[in-house]
Structure 1
Amino acid sequence: MEKHSFQLSLDWKGPRTGVGQLETKTLKTQVSVPSELKGPGIGTNPEEMLLAAAATCYTATLAAMLGFNKIEQVALTVKSEAIVAVAQSGALTYEKIIHRPHIVLAAGTIERTLSLVERIAKKAETACMISKALAGNVELELDIKITLAE
């Protein structure tokens, strides 16, 4: 089995309301607790980064699966949303991720292809590595939109 290692460095200054400098091989950004959670809201935050990981993985998996099935999309856009609950105690729970893929297919695509694309969009969610890692801890939801190009 082939294995890969991904690494990052995070230099944090201050308490919970501090700011960190995160660096990976290809990404450099500031991170902090978001303002919605009473943080400074500087740079990105863990909530957005988890959402970004889930959305990127889902989108790449969906695109790959469409390609494997020789379905060419004219456009593929995914908008994603995370729901984070804050208990009165202040404890946070990452409750749900909702992906809203919009797949645009070539004009004249036949009806059975539309059905196949919907099944592929659903399967991509369970095939994605990040979704598998979140399974049982974070609810995953899809709101699929498939249209034909004009």
Structure 2
Amino acid sequence: MPKHEFRLTADWFGGRGGEGRIATGNLVTKVSIPEDMKGPGIGTNPDEMMIGAAATCYIITLAAMLERKKIPVRDLTLETVGIVNVEITGQKFESITHRPKVVLHHDVTVNQMEEARKATEVAEKRCMISNAIRGNVALAVEATVIQEK
């Protein structure tokens, strides 16, 4: 079975309050601890990258599923919220909730509307990132599927 290898390089300057840089493929960015977690807030951080990975995996999986089912999508958007509990020792990434909004063309069938609703749930279960963190982070989908007027 073929495998794909991803590589990332990182540099870090300073201690906990320092900053760093990561590079992998098309992603090159500064990183640090967020300001609201008592860091310098420079660039992105592991928490944003975690929800970024989960969100992009989810929306790509959902888009592919809708395309395979030949469901005519007018617009597909997503808001993803990650919750980190900073009150416990060591901090814990508790949950990720995806809130997709799927707008279908005006001439879709009732069956296509239902298939799109199901796809919003199934996409989370098929997403590689969700499957990597399932059991350690609570995952949820709160979808809106509507038909354009």
TM over 0.5: yes
The total of aligned residue pairs comes to 149
Stretches of 4+ aligned residues off by more than 3 angstroms: none
Superposed displacement of residue 108, structure 1: 2.6
Superposed displacement of residue 98, structure 1: 0.6
Q: Which residue of 1 is the match for residue 109 of structure 2?
A: 110
For residues 71 and 3 of structure 2, the distance between their equivalents in structure 1, rounded to whole angstroms, comes to 30
Q: Which residue of 2 is the match for residue 6 of structure 1?
A: 6
With the length of structure 1 as denominator, give the TM-score of the two structures: 0.96
**Quick one: which amino acid aligns to residue 77 of structure 1?**
T
Superposed displacement of residue 115, structure 1: 1.2
For residues 97 and 69 of structure 1, the distance between their equivalents in structure 2, rounded to whole angstroms, comes to 26
For residues 88 and 60 of structure 1, the distance between their equivalents in structure 2, rounded to whole angstroms, comes to 33
Q: Deviations over 1:17-73 (max 9, x none)?
A: 110011112111100001111111110000000100000000000001111111121
- Go from structure 1 to structure 2 and tell me whether the alpha carbon gap of 1:69 and 1:94 turns closer, same or farther (over 3 Å shift): same
Alignment of 1:39-78 (within 5 A): 39-78=39-78
2:83 counterpart SS class: strand
For residues 115 and 74 of structure 1, the distance between their equivalents in structure 2, rounded to whole angstroms, comes to 16
Superposed displacement of residue 88, structure 1: 4.8
Q: Which residue of 1 is the match for residue 118 of structure 2?
A: 119
Superposed displacement of residue 114, structure 1: 1.2
Question: Is the Cα–Cα contact under 8 Å of residues 21 and 28 in structure 2 kept in the other structure?
Answer: yes
1:123 counterpart SS class: helix
Alignment of 1:71-150 (within 5 A): 71-89=71-89, 91-150=90-149
With the length of structure 2 as denominator, give the TM-score of the two structures: 0.97
What is the RMSD of the two structures over their aligned residues, measured on CA atoms?
A: 0.9
**Quick one: which amino acid aligns to residue 92 of structure 2?**
T
1:115 counterpart SS class: helix
Q: Which runs of 5+ in 2 are unaligned?
A: none
For residues 72 and 28 of structure 1, the distance between their equivalents in structure 2, rounded to whole angstroms, comes to 35
Question: Is the Cα–Cα contact under 8 Å of residues 17 and 39 in structure 2 kept in the other structure?
Answer: yes
**Quick one: which amino acid aligns to residue 139 of structure 2?**
L
Q: Deviations over 1:114-143 (max 9, x none)?
A: 111111110000000000001100000111
